[in-house]
Amino acid sequence: MKEFILLKQTFEIEIINEQEMAELAILTGQIIKSNDILLLKGEIGAGKSYFSRKLIQSQQTFPEEVPSPTFTLVQTYETKLGEIWHVDLYRLNSAEGLIELGLSEAFEEKICLIEWPELALDIMPETSLSLEILITSEQERKVKFSWASSDSWAHRIEKISESYNAKQKPYAARKD
């Protein structure tokens, strides 16, 4: 099983409420592009679907309902950036189901937001961005962005860091 051992750069931010999570999702929506894959990790209730919903809606000309794809596995949305695939692999029991979903093809030209990505790590491009949402209290979260040494992600994540720094939000950026 492939693991993202090469994840060397991280950016962490403390989120104190839903509004800040929405702001972070909107900022993330401003830095993504075609072929980008975001791997959303965190326990049930951490905010993976909420983050995805706010990101997708921020890129729609006319924001629409964005339900969790827990039961459908995949929801697709037309956006200003192109098609976004919102995927939830929580209910899949084996990697064989990934082929039927068409994820490999989607990776080539779509933006993919993948919740519970652990089952699919073997087919994930190493250029994926990992977002781990950790519950620190009932309302508060820590969001940790991780990526392989890539100037592409580093420059784009820096834009998020700068925006939060400008707003004087608590954050910590580091390179391991």
pLDDT band at 114 (very low <50, low <70, confident <90, very high): very high
For residue 4, pLDDT beyond 80: no
List of domains in the chain:
8-175 (3.40.50.300)
Cβ density class 79-98: b for 16+ within 10 Å, e for less: bebeebbbbbbeebeeeeeb
Predicted confidence (pLDDT) at residue 7 exceeds the cutoff of 50: no
Q: Which position has the higher pLDDT, 84 or 34?
A: 84
Reported pTM: 0.86
> What residues have CB less than 8 Å from 7, skipping those under 6 apart?
130, 146, 147, 148
Cβ pair 155, 161 in contact under 8 A: no
With H, G, I as helix, E, B as strand and everything else as coil, classify residue 51: helix
Mean pLDDT computed over every residue of the chain: 86
% of the chain residues with pLDDT over 70: 87
Mean pLDDT check: name the lowest of 16-30, 52-66, 134-148, 160-174. Answer: 160-174
DSSP 8-state secondary structure symbol assigned to residue 140: -
Residues 169 and 8 sit within 8 Å (Cβ to Cβ) = no
**How crowded is the C-beta side of 19, counted as CA atoms within 13 Å?**
1
Instruction: Let me know if 141 is exposed, middle or buried by CB neighbors in 10 A (0-12, 13-18, 19+).
Output: buried
- CA–centroid distance for 129 within its chain: 7
Q: Compute the distance between CA of residue 158 and CA of residue 173 in angstroms, rounded to an integer.
A: 9
